[in-house]
Amino acid sequence: MIDQAQLNRLHRYAVSLCRHGDDAFDLVQSALASFLEPPVKQFDDPIPYLFTSIRNRYIDIYRRDQKVQSTPLQDEHREAADYDLQVLETVMVNERQVNYLMNMLDDQEREMLFLWAVEGYSTQEVATLMALPKGTVLSKIHRLRQRLHQSKARENNCGVSL
């Protein structure tokens, strides 16, 4: 039995992928239906399986419809070599900046942030879960940090919202 807290975890993960509550619910419902289909699957912790299932469904549906957002990485891999998710630990933000960030990030960046901040995964674990090379995750962190600095600087200069 997937309890209420676990269902909300799944829903939040789905939201981190597609941003929209209703789409996220559809993803969770579809993954859960598949999970419950016989033969009965026995897991000590079914959440990782369901996360993967949600992710695969998201890619199937949204990639097929060309809805998945992606930003070209260019040559950031080399620059990002020194970065790790831990560098984000020191970044301070306020609520407005977080809201802005969530609207600004593409789906992979949001997923990465979710897995790190909410689920507590390390850089390597995030890379494994997202089926990405670690270098790609590192470059995304690098770019994320840059954007945060830029948006903070803009907020300070203008004195208005992001």
Partner 1 sequence: MRGEFMTQHSEKPLKQMVHDYYQRIELTPEQLQRLQAMQVPAQSVARESFSGRQQFKQYGGWLFGCCALLLLAVQLWWPHIASGPYPKAHEIAAEVAYNHFNRRPLETRGSSFPKLSGYFTQLQFEPVLSSLLGREVFQGARYCSLSSIRAAQFRVEDVNGEEQTWYQVDYQPEVFGPLPDIGRGEAPVIAYGKGLPVKIWVEKGMLFALTQNPDSHRQTAEQ
Q: Which is nearer to partner 1, 48 or 133 (CB)?
A: 48
For residue 88, the one-letter residue type is L
The nearer residue to partner 1, 68 or 162, going by C-beta atoms, is 162
Q: How far is the CB of 123 from partner 1 (least distance, A)?
A: 13
Query: Nearer Cβ to partner 1, position 117 or 153?
Result: 117
Rounded to a whole number of angstroms, the minimum distance from the CB of residue 67 to partner 1 is 20
Q: Contact positions toward partner 1, by CB under 8 A?
A: 1-2, 4, 7-8, 11-12, 15-16, 21, 25, 28-29, 32-33, 36, 38-40, 88-99, 102, 113-114, 116-118, 148
The dihedral through the CA atoms of 83, 86, 90, 92 has a sign that is: positive
3-state secondary structure 44-73: CCCHHHHHHHHHHHHHHHHHHCCCCCCCCC
CB of 156 vs partner 1, minimal distance in Å = 12
- Least Cβ distance, residue 162 to partner 1 (angstroms): 11
List b or e across 40-53, with b for residues whose CB sees 16 or more CB atoms inside 10 angstroms.
eeeeeebeeebbeb
Residue 159 CB-density burial (10 A; 0-12 exposed, 13-18 middle, 19+ buried): exposed
Q: Nearer to partner 1 by C-beta: 11 or 134? A: 11
